[in-house]
Amino acid sequence: MKKLKFIHQSSGMHWVGDGFPVRSVFSYDNLGRELDPFLLLDYAAPHEFAPTTRRRGVGAHPHRGFETVTFSFQGEVEHRDSSGGGGKIGPGDVQWMTAASGLLHEEFHSEDFARRGGVFEMAQLWVNLPARDKSAAPRYQTLLKQDIPVVDLPDGAGTLRVVAGEFGGHKGPAQTFTPINAWDLQLKVGKFAQLLVPEGHTTALLVLRGSLLIDGDTAAKEGALAVFEREGKDLVFQATEDSHVLLLGGQPLNEPIVGQGPFVMNSQQEILEAFHDFQKGKMGAL
Protein backbone atom coordinates (compact mmCIF):
# COMPACT_ATOMS: atom_id res chain seq x y z
CA MET A 1 0.00 0.00 0.00
CA LYS A 2 1.33 3.44 -0.93
CA LYS A 3 1.37 5.76 2.07
CA LEU A 4 0.75 9.49 2.00
CA LYS A 5 3.95 11.51 2.40
CA PHE A 6 2.47 15.00 2.71
CA ILE A 7 -0.24 17.39 1.48
CA HIS A 8 0.93 20.51 -0.30
CA GLN A 9 -1.51 23.40 -0.82
CA SER A 10 -1.24 25.50 -3.97
CA SER A 11 -0.38 29.19 -3.70
CA GLY A 12 -2.60 32.17 -4.46
CA MET A 13 -3.62 33.12 -7.98
CA HIS A 14 -1.43 35.14 -10.35
CA TRP A 15 -1.66 35.95 -14.04
CA VAL A 16 0.50 34.41 -16.77
CA GLY A 17 0.17 36.87 -19.61
CA ASP A 18 -3.37 38.20 -19.76
CA GLY A 19 -5.10 34.89 -20.49
CA PHE A 20 -4.13 32.46 -17.74
CA PRO A 21 -5.10 33.13 -14.10
CA VAL A 22 -3.17 30.33 -12.40
CA ARG A 23 -2.35 28.87 -9.02
CA SER A 24 1.23 27.65 -8.76
CA VAL A 25 0.76 24.17 -7.34
CA PHE A 26 4.50 23.37 -7.20
CA SER A 27 7.81 24.13 -8.88
CA TYR A 28 11.24 22.48 -8.92
CA ASP A 29 12.50 25.20 -6.57
CA ASN A 30 10.44 23.84 -3.69
CA LEU A 31 9.52 20.24 -4.57
CA GLY A 32 11.94 19.21 -7.32
CA ARG A 33 13.44 16.30 -5.42
CA GLU A 34 10.13 14.93 -4.14
CA LEU A 35 8.29 15.21 -7.48
CA ASP A 36 11.07 14.20 -9.90
CA PRO A 37 10.57 13.93 -12.95
CA PHE A 38 7.92 16.66 -12.67
CA LEU A 39 9.18 20.23 -12.52
CA LEU A 40 6.19 22.54 -12.24
CA LEU A 41 2.41 22.53 -12.23
CA ASP A 42 0.14 25.53 -12.73
CA TYR A 43 -3.63 25.22 -12.43
CA ALA A 44 -5.96 27.75 -14.02
CA ALA A 45 -9.14 27.21 -11.98
CA PRO A 46 -12.48 28.00 -13.65
CA HIS A 47 -12.56 31.69 -14.63
CA GLU A 48 -15.21 33.53 -16.62
CA PHE A 49 -13.90 35.59 -19.54
CA ALA A 50 -16.05 38.21 -21.25
CA PRO A 51 -16.23 38.20 -25.06
CA THR A 52 -13.47 40.17 -26.78
CA THR A 53 -11.70 40.63 -30.11
CA ARG A 54 -8.35 41.04 -28.34
CA ARG A 55 -5.83 38.19 -28.24
CA ARG A 56 -5.52 36.91 -24.69
CA GLY A 57 -2.57 34.76 -23.72
CA VAL A 58 1.22 34.70 -23.78
CA GLY A 59 3.36 35.82 -26.72
CA ALA A 60 6.53 34.21 -28.04
CA HIS A 61 8.92 32.92 -25.35
CA PRO A 62 11.62 30.20 -25.28
CA HIS A 63 11.96 26.84 -23.53
CA ARG A 64 14.72 24.24 -23.39
CA GLY A 65 15.32 20.99 -21.53
CA PHE A 66 11.81 19.74 -20.73
CA GLU A 67 8.24 19.25 -21.97
CA THR A 68 5.05 21.22 -21.32
CA VAL A 69 1.78 19.33 -21.02
CA THR A 70 -1.45 21.36 -21.15
CA PHE A 71 -4.71 19.75 -20.02
CA SER A 72 -7.82 21.55 -21.30
CA PHE A 73 -10.96 21.16 -19.19
CA GLN A 74 -12.97 24.21 -20.33
CA GLY A 75 -12.19 26.80 -23.02
CA GLU A 76 -9.80 26.62 -25.95
CA VAL A 77 -6.11 27.39 -26.49
CA GLU A 78 -4.17 27.80 -29.74
CA HIS A 79 -0.46 26.97 -29.78
CA ARG A 80 2.27 27.77 -32.29
CA ASP A 81 6.01 27.12 -32.04
CA SER A 82 9.21 27.70 -34.00
CA SER A 83 9.64 24.01 -34.83
CA GLY A 84 6.48 24.09 -36.92
CA GLY A 85 4.26 22.55 -34.24
CA GLY A 86 0.86 23.96 -33.49
CA GLY A 87 -2.80 23.34 -33.02
CA LYS A 88 -5.92 24.06 -31.01
CA ILE A 89 -7.15 22.16 -27.96
CA GLY A 90 -10.55 22.32 -26.33
CA PRO A 91 -12.39 20.56 -23.48
CA GLY A 92 -10.96 17.08 -22.92
CA ASP A 93 -7.94 17.59 -25.20
CA VAL A 94 -4.27 17.69 -24.18
CA GLN A 95 -1.21 19.16 -25.89
CA TRP A 96 2.24 17.67 -25.20
CA MET A 97 5.04 19.94 -26.38
CA THR A 98 8.65 18.76 -26.22
CA ALA A 99 10.97 21.77 -26.06
CA ALA A 100 14.12 19.61 -25.68
CA SER A 101 16.96 21.38 -27.59
CA GLY A 102 14.99 24.61 -27.64
CA LEU A 103 12.18 26.49 -29.34
CA LEU A 104 9.96 29.54 -29.14
CA HIS A 105 6.23 29.18 -28.67
CA GLU A 106 3.11 31.20 -27.99
CA GLU A 107 -0.22 30.32 -26.38
CA PHE A 108 -3.44 32.27 -26.82
CA HIS A 109 -7.13 31.72 -26.29
CA SER A 110 -8.61 30.55 -29.59
CA GLU A 111 -10.29 33.22 -31.69
CA ASP A 112 -13.65 31.46 -31.37
CA PHE A 113 -13.46 31.20 -27.58
CA ALA A 114 -12.29 34.82 -27.21
CA ARG A 115 -15.13 36.04 -29.40
CA ARG A 116 -17.88 34.21 -27.52
CA GLY A 117 -16.31 34.29 -24.03
CA GLY A 118 -17.03 31.73 -21.35
CA VAL A 119 -15.45 29.63 -18.61
CA PHE A 120 -11.76 28.77 -18.95
CA GLU A 121 -10.06 25.98 -16.97
CA MET A 122 -6.71 24.35 -17.71
CA ALA A 123 -3.61 22.87 -16.07
CA GLN A 124 -0.04 22.95 -17.34
CA LEU A 125 2.61 20.47 -16.22
CA TRP A 126 6.35 20.65 -16.91
CA VAL A 127 7.99 17.23 -17.34
CA ASN A 128 11.77 17.02 -17.07
CA LEU A 129 13.82 15.27 -19.74
CA PRO A 130 16.81 13.06 -18.92
CA ALA A 131 20.20 14.58 -19.74
CA ARG A 132 20.57 12.35 -22.78
CA ASP A 133 17.36 13.75 -24.32
CA LYS A 134 17.67 17.45 -23.52
CA SER A 135 19.31 17.95 -26.94
CA ALA A 136 16.59 16.00 -28.82
CA ALA A 137 14.61 17.67 -31.60
CA PRO A 138 11.45 19.52 -30.49
CA ARG A 139 8.13 17.74 -30.95
CA TYR A 140 4.45 18.59 -30.66
CA GLN A 141 1.59 16.17 -29.92
CA THR A 142 -2.12 17.05 -30.04
CA LEU A 143 -4.00 14.46 -27.97
CA LEU A 144 -7.68 14.79 -28.82
CA LYS A 145 -10.45 13.81 -26.41
CA GLN A 146 -11.73 11.06 -28.69
CA ASP A 147 -8.28 9.42 -28.76
CA ILE A 148 -7.86 9.27 -24.97
CA PRO A 149 -9.13 5.97 -23.49
CA VAL A 150 -11.78 6.17 -20.78
CA VAL A 151 -11.88 3.32 -18.23
CA ASP A 152 -14.74 2.63 -15.81
CA LEU A 153 -13.44 2.12 -12.27
CA PRO A 154 -14.68 -0.87 -10.22
CA ASP A 155 -17.76 -0.58 -8.00
CA GLY A 156 -19.03 2.47 -9.89
CA ALA A 157 -16.31 4.64 -8.36
CA GLY A 158 -16.06 6.81 -11.48
CA THR A 159 -13.97 6.99 -14.62
CA LEU A 160 -10.28 7.33 -15.48
CA ARG A 161 -8.89 8.82 -18.70
CA VAL A 162 -5.46 7.48 -19.69
CA VAL A 163 -3.58 10.46 -21.17
CA ALA A 164 -0.14 8.88 -20.72
CA GLY A 165 1.01 5.50 -19.46
CA GLU A 166 -1.26 2.50 -18.99
CA PHE A 167 -4.20 1.55 -16.80
CA GLY A 168 -6.30 -1.60 -16.88
CA GLY A 169 -4.81 -2.71 -20.18
CA HIS A 170 -5.52 0.65 -21.85
CA LYS A 171 -2.59 2.73 -23.11
CA GLY A 172 -2.64 6.51 -23.35
CA PRO A 173 -1.79 8.20 -26.67
CA ALA A 174 1.08 10.36 -25.35
CA GLN A 175 4.59 9.43 -26.43
CA THR A 176 7.01 9.99 -23.54
CA PHE A 177 10.79 9.77 -23.13
CA THR A 178 10.58 8.04 -19.74
CA PRO A 179 7.75 6.09 -18.04
CA ILE A 180 4.99 8.57 -17.18
CA ASN A 181 1.39 8.09 -16.00
CA ALA A 182 -1.01 11.00 -16.44
CA TRP A 183 -4.56 10.00 -15.51
CA ASP A 184 -7.64 12.25 -15.38
CA LEU A 185 -10.20 10.93 -12.87
CA GLN A 186 -13.86 11.75 -12.24
CA LEU A 187 -14.87 10.20 -8.89
CA LYS A 188 -18.25 9.61 -7.24
CA VAL A 189 -18.97 10.74 -3.68
CA GLY A 190 -18.44 8.05 -1.05
CA LYS A 191 -16.65 5.67 -3.40
CA PHE A 192 -13.12 4.28 -3.03
CA ALA A 193 -10.64 4.41 -5.90
CA GLN A 194 -8.16 1.54 -5.91
CA LEU A 195 -5.35 2.06 -8.40
CA LEU A 196 -2.25 0.02 -9.20
CA VAL A 197 0.82 2.19 -9.84
CA PRO A 198 4.48 1.24 -10.47
CA GLU A 199 6.74 0.50 -7.52
CA GLY A 200 9.39 3.19 -7.00
CA HIS A 201 7.66 5.86 -9.07
CA THR A 202 6.78 9.35 -7.93
CA THR A 203 3.00 9.54 -7.42
CA ALA A 204 0.85 12.59 -6.67
CA LEU A 205 -2.82 13.56 -6.82
CA LEU A 206 -4.02 17.08 -7.59
CA VAL A 207 -7.58 17.77 -6.44
CA LEU A 208 -9.14 20.04 -9.07
CA ARG A 209 -12.66 19.84 -7.64
CA GLY A 210 -14.19 18.14 -4.61
CA SER A 211 -12.27 16.45 -1.79
CA LEU A 212 -10.56 13.17 -0.93
CA LEU A 213 -9.91 11.16 2.22
CA ILE A 214 -6.47 9.52 2.21
CA ASP A 215 -5.08 6.93 4.66
CA GLY A 216 -8.47 6.97 6.37
CA ASP A 217 -8.11 10.30 8.15
CA THR A 218 -6.32 12.91 6.00
CA ALA A 219 -8.41 15.28 3.88
CA ALA A 220 -7.20 16.68 0.56
CA LYS A 221 -9.45 19.51 -0.58
CA GLU A 222 -9.65 21.55 -3.78
CA GLY A 223 -6.24 22.87 -4.84
CA ALA A 224 -4.35 20.36 -2.68
CA LEU A 225 -1.54 18.14 -3.97
CA ALA A 226 -1.23 14.80 -2.18
CA VAL A 227 2.29 13.36 -2.54
CA PHE A 228 2.88 9.68 -1.79
CA GLU A 229 5.86 7.59 -0.76
CA ARG A 230 7.55 5.80 -3.67
CA GLU A 231 7.36 2.43 -1.96
CA GLY A 232 4.29 0.31 -2.65
CA LYS A 233 2.01 -0.24 -5.62
CA ASP A 234 -1.57 -0.06 -4.29
CA LEU A 235 -3.05 3.44 -4.10
CA VAL A 236 -6.39 3.68 -2.28
CA PHE A 237 -8.39 6.81 -1.42
CA GLN A 238 -12.03 7.87 -1.01
CA ALA A 239 -13.94 10.71 -2.63
CA THR A 240 -15.90 12.57 0.07
CA GLU A 241 -17.55 14.68 -2.65
CA ASP A 242 -17.95 14.21 -6.39
CA SER A 243 -14.37 14.98 -7.38
CA HIS A 244 -12.14 15.74 -10.35
CA VAL A 245 -8.55 14.58 -9.75
CA LEU A 246 -5.36 14.53 -11.81
CA LEU A 247 -2.92 11.70 -11.06
CA LEU A 248 0.73 12.23 -11.97
CA GLY A 249 3.21 9.37 -11.81
CA GLY A 250 6.66 8.90 -13.21
CA GLN A 251 10.03 7.22 -12.91
CA PRO A 252 12.46 9.58 -11.12
CA LEU A 253 15.46 10.70 -13.18
CA ASN A 254 17.73 11.27 -10.16
CA GLU A 255 19.74 13.89 -12.06
CA PRO A 256 20.73 17.46 -11.13
CA ILE A 257 18.05 20.08 -11.72
CA VAL A 258 19.34 23.56 -12.58
CA GLY A 259 16.76 25.99 -13.86
CA GLN A 260 16.42 29.66 -14.62
CA GLY A 261 13.32 31.19 -16.15
CA PRO A 262 12.23 29.15 -19.18
CA PHE A 263 15.22 26.78 -19.19
CA VAL A 264 15.81 23.66 -17.07
CA MET A 265 19.11 21.83 -17.53
CA ASN A 266 21.66 19.86 -15.46
CA SER A 267 24.30 22.56 -14.85
CA GLN A 268 24.69 26.32 -14.66
CA GLN A 269 26.94 26.21 -17.71
CA GLU A 270 24.13 24.64 -19.74
CA ILE A 271 21.80 27.41 -18.57
CA LEU A 272 24.26 30.05 -19.78
CA GLU A 273 24.51 28.22 -23.11
CA ALA A 274 20.72 28.22 -23.40
CA PHE A 275 20.50 31.99 -22.89
CA HIS A 276 23.33 32.50 -25.38
CA ASP A 277 21.66 30.29 -28.00
CA PHE A 278 18.34 32.08 -27.50
CA GLN A 279 19.97 35.49 -27.90
CA LYS A 280 21.71 34.30 -31.07
CA GLY A 281 18.41 33.15 -32.56
CA LYS A 282 19.31 29.45 -32.48
CA MET A 283 15.89 28.49 -31.13
CA GLY A 284 14.13 29.69 -34.25
CA ALA A 285 11.54 32.36 -34.76
CA LEU A 286 7.80 32.76 -35.07
- Residue 219 is predicted with a pLDDT of 96
Q: Give the pLDDT confidence of 45-100 residue by residue, as tens digits.
A: 999 999 999 999 999 999 999 999 999 999 999 999 999 999 999 999 999 999 99
The per-residue pLDDT for 12 is: 83
Reported as a single tens digit per residue, the pLDDT across 192-219 is 999 999 999 999 999 999 999 999 899 9
CA nearest to 155, candidates 179, 178, 187, 132 = 187
Q: What is the mean pLDDT of the chain?
A: 96
pTM: 0.96
C-alpha span between 267 and 196 (Å, rounded): 35
